[in-house]
Copies of this chain bind each other. A is one copy, B any other.
Amino acid sequence: MATTSIAVVDDRLFAAVLARADDALILGHRLSEWCGHAPMLEEDLALANIALDLIGQARLLYEYAATIENAGHTEDDYAYRRDPHQFRNILLVEQPNGDFAHTIIRQYLYSAFAHAFWQAMTSSADAALAAIAAKSVPESAYHLRHAAEWTIRLGDGTEESHRRAQDALDALFPYTGEMFAIPETETDLIVGGILADPATIRPAWTASLDRILAEAGLAKPQSTWMQSGGRRGRHSEHLGHLLAEMQILPRSYPGAIW
């Protein structure tokens, strides 16, 4: 056996579903790293809760991807047996937890998008995706509320919390562009009403940001330069380390059932 990695088919819907599953899994994994180490017990619970929701979303999406691919792969094959360059998550979700402000701002930037995205997806022409969206909407609403409230609290808390929140916002904002970029492979899916058009989601995202950052007293970064690459499998250096830890058991015991 020369590799324990799987190869996956080249299909547009499959790729689009896999990419969203990867977003949810990687962000869920990052949040799960906090477990037992959060600033207060209530946040240990809240972050674990959000992580659980996201891993749950990832599992539904992988399951659907497996149906589309029809190659006998399971959710665990996708999660544990792909190399970093085979992951299609956006770079934002793989960024390290950093301090609590980085985790919250990352979550806020993502959830403000994801909530609007899943809302739009409830009317997807693809019934399976619409069903996953319907389940995800109340979850993402909670994730957004939690992250937005903390963003305000940190932004308008102490001098230190304000500084940390602004640092996090400045550092993470360049990773938001990928949420709105449309890979060439997805244009047909958008035209076909299967995927929500990011352009229709941006107004809700921008409105949320303007309102929450104003209330938090945080300055919206003016930089228009954006990082990208995740959707093409070109990640940051962080993803490889995350996956090494996540995948070590299935990689060490190929074929074992756990």
Contact = CB atoms under 8 A, between A and B. Distances in A.
Interface stretch (A2-10, A95-103, A111-119, A142-150): A2-10
Kindly state the interface size class of chain A when it binds its partner. Answer: 10 to 19
Nearest to A254: B1
Contacts of A160: none
A191 to B, nearest CB: 38
B83 A252 contact: yes
Interface of A: 1-5, 83, 241, 243-245, 247-248, 251-256
Given A3-B252, A5-B252, A243-B248, 6 more contacts: A2-B253, A2-B255, A3-B256, A4-B251, A244-B244, A245-B245
Nearest to A252: B251
A8 to B, nearest CB: 16
Contact of A254 (B4, B83, B241, B247): B4
Contacts of A251: 4, 248, 251-252
17 contacts: A2-B254, A3-B252, A3-B254, A4-B4, A4-B252, A4-B254, A5-B252, A5-B253, A243-B248, A244-B248, A245-B245, A247-B248, A247-B252, A248-B248, A248-B251, A251-B252, A254-B254
A253 B244 CA distance: 13
Contact of A256 (B2, B243, B256): B2
A56 to B, nearest CB: 25
